[in-house]
Every structure is written in C-alpha cells, then in structure tokens.
Amino acid sequence: MKPLGIGLIGTGYMGKCHALAWNAVKTVFGDVDRPRLVHLAEASAALAEQRGSEFGFEKATADWRALIADPEVDVVSVTTPNQFHADMAIAALEAGKHVWCEKPMAPAYADAERMLKAAKASGKVAVLGYNYIQNPIMRHIKMLIDDGAIGTVNHIRVEMDEDFMADPDAFFYWKSELASGYGALDDFAVHPLSLLWYLFGHVEAVIADMVKPYADRPLKEGGRRSVENHDAANVLMRLGGGISAVLMANRSAWGRKGRIALQIFGAKGAIAYDQERMNEFELYQADGRGSEQGFRKILTAPAHQPYDRFIPAPGHGLGFNDLKIIECRELIRAISGEPSSIVTFEDGLRIEKSVHAMAQSFHERRWIEIG
C-alpha cells in the first residue's frame, strides 16, 4: 500500500491538530507508511501558503475544490466551521477520497443524512473526529464495564463544561449563529454523547431544556447582536438495558476548561472520570470489608495500550493531540481494512439524531423516543 496522500481543509485549532497527527503517526506507531502531506486549503492564498509551509504540505490553495480534485490526495481532513462540513465532505467522497471530518457532521440533520448517503455510495472510509474515545483510559473503562467489574450499570451522570463563552462582554462570533447549530448540544455535548455511545450504545429517549445565559453579545464594529443558539443544556436520557442518564452541558461555565465529568454507577461499584484529568480515573468496588472500601485512583500506564507507544513510564500522561494521533492510526487501520475503533458517519448520524431529538424535546416540551 503506497503512502496515503493527505489533503487538509482548514488550518485553525483542529486543522493544526490534524496536521500534527498526520506528521506524527509514523513516528509514534512505526507500523504504517509515513503519510505524504500533499495539499492544504485555506480561505486566502496568503494564509494557505503560510500554513502550508508551517505544517509541511507540498501545495497550498485558496480553492478547497482544487484540493479535492487533486489526484494525489487520497484522504481529506475537513476541519472547517460546522456549516461547511457537508459540502466539503460530500464533494471529497464523490471524488473518491476517504474523509476525516471533525464533529459534528452538520448543523442540519438533512445535510448529515446526505453525508452518510455519499459515504455509502462512495465505498470510502468516512469518519468523524471524536478523539476522546481514543483515550487509553476510556478503553480500559470499557473493558471494566464489559467484564462486570462494577456489576450491571444502572445510572450515568455526565457533565461537559468550558468557559470560552462565559464572558458576557466577549464579541459575537460564528458559534453563536443559528447556522452553526443548536449551540452547546451539537457543537459541544456530542463529545460526551460519543463516550456514552462507545461505552453503552446509543441514546433511546430524551427530554431536554436549553438555556441562553446571555441574550446578546457585542460586535467588534459596535452595537450588539442577539445570540441565536443556546450555550447551556440539561438532558434526561434513557439508554439501552434500562440505564438512566443525565447530561449537562455549558459553554459559559467560568473556571471549567475542558471538563467532561463522567460518573458510572453499577450494582457492584462505580467509576468516575474527568477529562480535565484525562490520565486517571477512580474505581470503587463494593467488595471486601466495608471499613476499607473506597475509590482508588488509577493512573495511565503502559499497560493501558497504546499509551506504551508514546511513553514507557506510568503516570507521565498523554494530551489532547496524542489522542488525535491514536485516532489517525485507527483511521489508517480502517482504510487498510483492519479492525478499528472509529466513529463512522453511520454512528455519527445516530449521535446527530440524538441531538436533534433533544432540540425537538425542548421546543415541544416532552419526551422524544429515538428510533
């Protein structure tokens, strides 16, 4: 198999993250050919040239369609704002390229459906950038649950909080536009939903409330603009097997930087995890004498593969970008026809369906069953 030719559309935070992953996957894992960074696209030619040089791409363009048409590109990374995902991913799939698209799929459910239809028609690999499921700790938590280490799970609580929109005087930008989606739910809460899917399967029913902490925001050019979506949400959920769950998400939570606090309660114990401390989790097992029972902290170590590919010693810790490298390796596995741990467009559409059901529930003020 020849080295994969990579195209990257978008060079912001996640674009750089993808570039780091493509650059590092051979170094970390060693068992793949080094990808060839072929073509990069940005909104302007000047920025494309600058980022192309910084990221190590051979060619740069201000025309993303030219990148997709490039016969040397085999895989397209789509890391643009949410409202552009559908057109770019569909065009890439129709051109016979594999696609690695950042979450969420698209603000409109119909566009997400079109993305899945294009993926099926193309026969190419199409995955979404849910890198939190790639954490070695999360893989170990799944193994513990599947092995019955805490008994039958009956209740889950998950909170996702950040404070990048906590300041009421922060300028209005695209994430507050309705065109970008519902707000906290699809821009944000899809991450904990991906963890729930990975550990337990898809959500079956929801009832939700959404909140606008601030009704409007200032504009750089003066004046104010109404906030068009919701920065916080609370959701009651039912999962398969009779598991009840609670999801709380807030993009305006002062002091929280990257928090996904997950508590899993079972008949014989509990597991607690916080994304801000992503290299550890706590395990409680209700066995032995009650006087010595308690949560014990477990740190990531080489035994939690593929941590060992990065660091030979326990307790040193991986980071966000390392999870993206693992995700990149899983994508290459999928392209090679090997078993892989990825969120496909099909699984991603079900996550999107859950989000749209939550929004429908909010507007109709009732429980929504998800088929």
State residue 70's pLDDT score.
98
Residue 1 has pLDDT above 80, yes or no: no
Calculate mean pLDDT across residues 186-212.
Answer: 95
Q: What is the dihedral of CA 227, 230, 231, 237, to 10 degrees?
A: 180
pTM listed for this prediction: 0.94
* 3-state class (DSSP) for residue 134: helix
State residue 250's pLDDT score.
97
State residue 186's pLDDT score.
87
The Cα 326–Cα 129 span in angstroms is 11
* 3-state class (DSSP) for residue 160: strand
pLDDT digits (tens, 9 = 90+) for 216-231: 999 999 999 999 999 9
Calculate mean pLDDT across residues 297-315.
Answer: 97
What CATH number does the domain located at 5-128 have?
A: 3.40.50.720
pLDDT digits (tens, 9 = 90+) for 67-112: 999 999 999 999 999 999 999 999 999 999 999 999 999 989 999 9
Q: Which pLDDT band, with edges at 50, 70 and 90, does 2 fall under? A: confident
CB 15 within 8 Å of CB 32 = no
Among candidate residues 364, 333, 320, 334, the one with its CA nearest the CA of residue 130: 320
CATH for the 134-369 domain, from 3.30.9.10, 3.30.360.10, 2.60.120.1570, 3.40.50.2000: 3.30.360.10
pLDDT digits (tens, 9 = 90+) for 48-69: 999 999 999 999 999 999 999 9
Give the count of beta carbons closer than 10 Å to the beta carbon of residue 224.
11
Domains 5-128 and 134-369 share a fold: no
Q: What number of CA atoms fall less than 13 Å from residue 289's CA on the CB side?
A: 2
Six-digit token string for 63: 């025309």
pLDDT digits (tens, 9 = 90+) for 260-285: 999 999 999 999 999 999 999 999 99
For the chain, the structural domain boundaries read: 5-128, 134-369
State residue 270's pLDDT score.
98
CB 114 within 8 Å of CB 135 = no
CB 270 within 8 Å of CB 170 = no
Q: Which pLDDT band, with edges at 50, 70 and 90, does 321 fall under? A: very high
State percent of the chain over pLDDT 70: 100
Query: What's the CA angle centered on 283, arms 278 and 286, to 5 degrees?
Result: 170
State residue 188's pLDDT score.
86
Calculate mean pLDDT across residues 243-247.
Answer: 98
| SS3 track for 238-284 | EEHHHCEEEEEEECCCCCCCCEEEEEEEECCEEEEEEHHHCCEEEEE
Average pLDDT, the chain: 96
| Amino acid at residue number 110 | A
The residue whose two tokens read 């889950």 is: 156
